[in-house]
Amino acid sequence: MDGILLIVVLVIAGGAIAFIGDRLGTKIGKKRLSIFGLRPRHTSIVITIFTGVVITALTFGVMAAASQNVRTALFGMEQLNRAMRETKESLQSTEEALLMAKNEQAKTDADLQQSQEDIKKLNQQQQELLEESARLQAGNEALQAGNAALMADNNQLAAQNAELNDRNTELGSRNTELTAKNEGLAADNKVLEERTNMLRDGLITMREGDIAFRAGEIIASGVIRGNRPAAEVEADIESLAALANRNVSARFGSDRSDQEIWIYRPEHDAAVESIAKSPQDMVVRIVAAGNLVRGEDVRTNLELYPNSVIFEDQEFIIARPYDILTGDGSEAEQTVMNFLKDVNFAATAKGILPDPLRGTVGVMDGSQFYDVVARLKGQRGPVILSAYANGNTDASGPLRLKIKVERSTNVQ
């Protein structure tokens, strides 16, 4: 409000002075007055200029009288500028100090946060140490209880040790008696060794003599159905063992009623369990564990093989081309023998179990063999021999054959 009032006063004063100057100039002009020897027109100009100067001086005077700020602007500007510079420098210094204070505050906040985190970790570690201390305390109590129990056991063992010492004294006296007896047994053992050597020599003589079954030879074989109760499977194995016993009796030419087939019990039980759990039938072979001679125990092994139909009736097995040169009997027999070897190899490769000693799988009577030989006799040139299964044949065999003889125009 002071500024507005000052402006109003200046406007009114300026207007009044201008009005007075104008009136004064007009009167001087009309009266054609002269100042300092000047012409009236020039005198009027001077008065007008003087009036403007008075207006300006009066304006500044009124403003200086009415406002401290104006007096400061007119007469204290340099001091004001110096104060402003000092204030600006002080403000800049204050801002720098404030920035440093903020940085220090940020660092302090970071240190405070780190300290809080460290305090939190220390609290956690303290809690863990307290828990560990509690566990150790519990463990210590348990160890003390165990130590007490061990002390009791130790006392009991000490009593038992004293008792054992008494027994040890007693056993020492018995040991003296056993030492004397052992010397007598050593003399008896020497006699038994001499008799054993005599028996071994006799056994070697027997093995080189009347051998009924060779090691690995099949004494009896059969197919036992799988996936059945163990009792039924065991009964079938016992039946197969009885058949083996009859075969041994027939081979030795006696009833062998005083000697039975001997099968290792763990092997027998394992075979029963395996067949009972098997989803398919099993071929069971009872084979000689060693060369069997008259008067010895019939020791055997059990062999198990999965059983399935290998060849259907009339199923083709193999065919081979041959070139007959002379057509005589010896060449025909050799050709048939070579073909039967190939048949045997093919049937074995497909899954029929061969004889352990001879390695054969097929059965062919003499009449059939010589019939094929007869059909080859007198022929010359290329022929083809083909083998077919004569009936369904499973893995246990034997493979019965039908052999066809055909003329061929090409030999491969």
Mean pLDDT of 315-330: 79
Identify the weakest region by mean pLDDT among 1-5, 144-148, 337-341, 395-399: 1-5
- Torsion region of 262: left, alpha or beta (phi above 0 gives left; psi -120 to 50 gives alpha): beta
| One-letter identity of residue 5 | L
Does residue 203 lie within any of the structural domains?
no
**What confidence category does residue 244 fall into, taking pLDDT thresholds of 50, 70 and 90?**
confident
Does residue 340 lie within any of the structural domains?
yes
Cα gap 132→140, rounded to integer Å: 12
54-96 confidence digits (pLDDT tens): 777 777 777 777 666 666 666 666 777 788 888 888 888 888 8
Cα gap 402→325, rounded to integer Å: 24
Does residue 47 lie within any of the structural domains?
yes
Residue 55 to residues 13, 61, 67, 329, 371, Cα–Cα distance (Å): 8, 10, 18, 168, 165
Domain boundary among 307, 340, 357: 307
Task: Give, for 90, the enclosing helix (H) or strand (E).
Answer: helix 77-207
357-387 confidence digits (pLDDT tens): 666 666 666 777 788 888 878 777 888 888 8
Domain identity same for 298 and 359: no
Evaluate whether 303 touches 284 at the Cβ level (below 8 Å). Answer: yes
Domain boundary among 307, 340, 370: 307
Segments forming the whole domain that contains residue 342 = 310-407
Evaluate whether 390 touches 312 at the Cβ level (below 8 Å). Answer: no
Point out which residues pair with 386 in neighbouring strands: 319, 404
Does residue 323 lie within any of the structural domains?
yes
Domain identity same for 303 and 320: no
| One-letter identity of residue 35 | I
Name the one residue in this structure whose structure tokens are 């001086």: 57
Task: Give, for 225, the enclosing helix (H) or strand (E).
Answer: none
Q: Is 323 helix (H, G, I), strand (E, B) or coil?
A: strand
Domain identity same for 43 and 56: yes
Domain identity same for 323 and 300: no
Does residue 401 lie within any of the structural domains?
yes
Cα gap 303→324, rounded to integer Å: 43
Q: Is 35 exposed, middle or buried (0-12, 13-18, 19+ CB in 10 A)?
A: middle
**Residue 257: what pLDDT?**
47
Residue 106 CB neighbours (<10 A): 10
Q: What residues contact residue 256 under an 8 Å CB cut-off, 6+ apart?
A: 245, 248, 249, 298
Mean predicted lDDT score pLDDT of the chain:
76
| One-letter identity of residue 393 | T
Task: Give, for 256, the enclosing helix (H) or strand (E).
Answer: none
Evaluate whether 351 touches 361 at the Cβ level (below 8 Å). Answer: no
Identify the weakest region by mean pLDDT among 39-53, 260-274, 275-289, 301-315: 39-53
Number of domains within the chain: 3
Domain identity same for 275 and 299: yes
* Bridge pairing between strands 309-311 and 393-394: antiparallel
- Write down the pTM of the prediction: 0.41
- The backbone torsions φ and ψ at residue 260, rounded to the nearest 5 degrees and listed phi first, read -105, 160
Classify the C-alpha dihedral 207-208-210-214 as positive or negative.
Answer: positive
Q: What residues contact residue 149 under an 8 Å CB cut-off, 6+ apart?
A: none
pLDDT at 411 over 50: no
Does residue 135 lie within any of the structural domains?
no
Identify the weakest region by mean pLDDT among 93-97, 164-168, 243-247: 164-168
Does residue 197 lie within any of the structural domains?
no
Q: What end-to-end distance do the CA atoms of the chain give, in Å?
A: 135
Cα gap 216→355, rounded to integer Å: 9
Point out which residues pair with 387 in neighbouring strands: 318, 403
Q: Is 36 helix (H, G, I), strand (E, B) or coil?
A: coil
Does residue 331 lie within any of the structural domains?
yes
Domain boundary among 19, 44, 75: 75
26-35 confidence digits (pLDDT tens): 776 666 666 6
- The backbone torsions φ and ψ at residue 25, rounded to the nearest 5 degrees and listed phi first, read -65, -40
